[in-house]
Amino acid sequence: MKRFFRKALTVVGVLFVAGLVIVAAAVAALPWIAGKMPLELSRLTLTDGTRQVQMQGMAHLGEPRFYKEVADLVAARRAEGWLVFYEEVKADMADPKAGMADVMSRLGAEWKPTDDRHPYEIIGALLGKDLVLQNNREILGSPGPEVRNVDVTLSQLLAALPPPDGEKEDLDLAEARRMFDEAPGWIQERIRAAVRIALSIASSTEMAREQLPSALTNEREDLVAEAILAEADRNILILYGQAHIDAIRQRLERARPGWRVAAEETTRAF
């Protein structure tokens, strides 16, 4: 019996050490794994037989190269006479920064209105060193009636989001960024890799959309589908968050039979 327990403990010990080695190897390999899993976004072209609707999935942070590609696409479609619909919550409040801070709080993050950095700029370093914030003014080009913001207002968004949960503690974005900046370089590299892997997995599944409150998904997707259907004789380019693309397609198909996918490709945000 003693011999049995001694062998059993030896096996457990070997397995424990092997487990540590595997975990260490997996952590060390995170940057390599992340390099094999880029954040890919959809470029989906639909047709109802008479016109086209092209939807480009967007990410709020990406490489300058990606945004240049999208800007070139917008310029080409505008030159061809297409409409362009894009996503951008409309700041209809007297103090938009306070409104944004309230939105962030209801989503579980603390961002101070006095901070000069956009929330995405604060967490951008956790994704990569060479990423920039999406700038719709640069992407869309000169304003015009053919370029339309199809999104909810800030006050509509706040009205639809659940009130803050007083029992939970919000994640302080500035503090999280400070802790990241103070971490050793090899830890920063692996945090970036882990976050990129998670984003890549979420963008290729329904995971990202399922984690968002319905106020950030259903209402906005309804607006886009309605705007498309209201322009029955126009080709339209849609720039919207990746999590919304398939849901918009489904709404069009349900509202009016005959829509089909004419082309599908992917672009890399980073």
Name the domain count of the chain.
1
Residues 6+ apart with CB under 8 A from 105: 111, 164, 170
- Is 2 inside any structural domain? no
Band of the pLDDT at 36, cuts 50, 70, 90? Answer: low
CB 209 within 8 Å of CB 157: no
Q: What is the pLDDT of residues 55-65, one digit of tens each?
A: 999 999 899 99
pLDDT higher than 50, residue 161? yes
Mean confidence (pLDDT) of the chain: 85
pLDDT at 260 over 70: yes
84 domain-assigned: yes
Inform me whether the pLDDT recorded for 3 exceeds 70: no
Dist. CA 68–CA 85, nearest whole Å: 18
pLDDT 10s digits, 105-132: 988 899 998 888 889 888 888 888 888 9
Asked if the structure places residue 19 within a domain, the reply is no
Q: How far apart are CA 52 and CA 146, in angstroms?
A: 15
In a domain, 263, yes or no: yes
Does 47 map to a domain? yes
pTM of the model: 0.82
Spatial distance between the Cα atoms of 30 and 194, rounded to a whole number of angstroms: 6
Q: Has residue 135 got a pLDDT over 90?
A: yes
| Assigned domain for 115 exists | yes
Q: How confident is the model at residue 85 (pLDDT cuts 50, 70, 90)?
A: very high
Residue 15 has pLDDT above 60, yes or no: no
Kindly indicate the confidence band of residue 197, based on its pLDDT and cuts at 50, 70 and 90.
confident
Pairwise pLDDT comparison (37 vs 52), residue with the higher score: 52
- 4 lies in some domain: no
Percent of the chain beyond pLDDT 90? 55
* Domain annotation covers residue 172: yes
Give the residue-averaged pLDDT of 218-229: 95
Helix 242-255 × helix 218-230 angle, to 10° = 50
For the ranges 11-20, 23-32, 118-127, 166-175, the maximum mean pLDDT occurs at 118-127
Domain span at residue 175? Answer: 37-268
Amino acid identity at 185:
G
The residue length of the chain stands at 270
pLDDT for 1: 44
